[in-house]
């Protein structure tokens, strides 16, 4: 097979990665019944064959199953990608738990290294802020992991600009990860500017808004166990309202001779040069489609039209249910709707 040409590169602090990475969560977690392993292995290897050089996982995803999958599927190609994983959110007695203590972080990392069948993770994130533990203490545990050679760089996920600055004062942060798409704009409040100022890369998860901006959501008839059943903006009257804005989005994509998913990827890439989107998918066809977003160019007029489509009030429903939102440190938007 003729190797694919390399994808454009972007920087996450000291790390050079493909301009689009792959979020691996939904191969093991959150979207109903997971695909069979053979299909997941094919997708992961196809991503590398296409030139993707950033794979993103976490201890939480499948309670370790996603890390194990990556170790089995592409561990033999370890030199081909930057490996990112996360701690703090983990399995506690078989349930989702939050623990940012240094001891818990160290234990989580050691388990991750075993599951991934590697002695080094390139980028290791604090998955959420544990408000019971000073961020300096949590980052300190990762500093010791850097010194021990277990990880290469430190990342933060869903944290505010103020928390990022405190963490960065302890040790340089390579990347901050948060949800970001034409619908979810919270990082615009302060995080993107803080990252640009401090030389930190920004990793945008759910850049196609969990399928809503990629033609994959037209009703709330999700499979049992699908995370979107718990997200207020993806169900009931909220979703029916939101699909009106999505219809305008789809028309704009058609005008640009691209798919809706490609338009979303192009928008995220156009927002700033230090942003790397990491869409997740179980489909090789969908992955190839999203990579086509690299070729879509959006002029200021198109960017303004997208702002108008998703102006405040165009999308109803909170981003997360209340319990999950309580673990989010990222700034809220003015008048952002929160679940009761």
Q: What is the pLDDT of residue 1?
A: 53
- How many helices (H) and strands (E) the chain has is answered by 11, 12
CATH number of 9-210+260-297: 3.20.20.100
Tell me if residue 176 falls in helix, strand or coil.
Answer: strand
What are the domain boundaries of the chain? Answer: 9-210+260-297
pLDDT in tens, 245-261: 999 999 999 999 999 99
Determine the Cα–Cα distance for residues 165 and 170; give it in Å rounded to an integer: 9
How many angstroms separate the Cα of 325 from the Cα of each of 42, 127, 211, 273?
34, 13, 20, 28
Of 31, 61, 124, 180, which one is the catalytic site residue? Answer: 61
Instruction: Convert the pLDDT of each residue in 131-152 to its tens digit.
Output: 999 999 999 999 999 999 999 9
Strand partners, 56: 23, 84
Q: What is the mean pLDDT of residues 16-34?
A: 95
**Number of other residues whose CB lies within 10 A of the CB of residue 111:** 16
Q: What is the pLDDT of residue 337?
A: 87
pLDDT at position 222 over 70? yes
Q: Catalytic site residue 61?
A: yes
Do residues 307 and 136 lie in contact, with contact meaning Cβ atoms separated by under 8 Å? no
What band does 2 get if pLDDT is binned at 50, 70 and 90?
low
Distance CA 259, CA 251 (A): 10
> Which sign, positive or negative, has the C-alpha torsion 36, 210, 24, 225?
negative
- The C-alpha atoms of residue 153 and residue 15 are separated, in whole angstroms, by 8
- Give me the half-sphere count of Cα atoms (radius 13 Å) on the Cβ side of residue 135: 24
């Amino acid at each position: 097979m003729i190797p694919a040409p390399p994808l454009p590169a972007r920087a996450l602090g000291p790390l050079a990665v493909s301009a689009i990475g792959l979020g691996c969560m939904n191969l093991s977690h959150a979207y109903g019944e997971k695909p069979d392993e053979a299909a997941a292995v094919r997708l992961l290897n196809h991503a590398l064959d296409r030139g993707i050089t950033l794979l993103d996982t976490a201890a939480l995803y499948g309670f370790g199953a996603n890390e194990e999958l990556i170790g089995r599927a592409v561990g033999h190609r370890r030199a081909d990608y930057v490996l990112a994983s996360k701690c703090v959110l983990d399995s506690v007695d078989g349930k989702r738990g939050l623990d940012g203590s240094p001891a818990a972080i160290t234990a989580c990392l050691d388990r991750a290294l075993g599951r991934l069948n590697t002695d080094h993770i390139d980028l290791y994130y604090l998955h959420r802020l544990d408000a019971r533990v000073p961020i300096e203490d949590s980052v300190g545990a990762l500093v010791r992991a850097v010194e021990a050679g277990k990880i290469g760089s430190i990342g933060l996920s869903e944290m505010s600009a103020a928390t990022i600055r405190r963490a960065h004062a302890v040790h340089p942060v390579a990347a901050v990860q948060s949800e970001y798409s034409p619908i979810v704009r919270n990082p615009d409040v302060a995080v993107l500017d803080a990252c640009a100022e401090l030389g930190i890369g920004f990793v945008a998860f759910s850049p196609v808004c969990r399928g809503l901006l990629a033609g994959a959501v037209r009703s709330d008839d999700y499979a049992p166990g699908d995370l979107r059943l718990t997200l207020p903006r993806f169900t009931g009257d909220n979703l029916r309202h939101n699909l009106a804005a999505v219809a305008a989005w789809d028309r704009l994509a058609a005008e640009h001779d691209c798919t809706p998913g490609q338009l979303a990827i192009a928008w995220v890439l156009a927002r700033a040069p230090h942003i790397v989107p990491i869409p997740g998918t179980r489909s090789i066809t969908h992955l190839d489609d999203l990579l086509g977003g690299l070729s879509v160019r959006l002029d200021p007029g198109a960017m303004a039209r997208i702002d108008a489509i998703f102006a405040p009030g165009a999308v109803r429903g909170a981003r997360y249910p209340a319990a999950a939102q309580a673990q989010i440190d990222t700034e809220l938007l003015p008048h952002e709707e929160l679940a009761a």
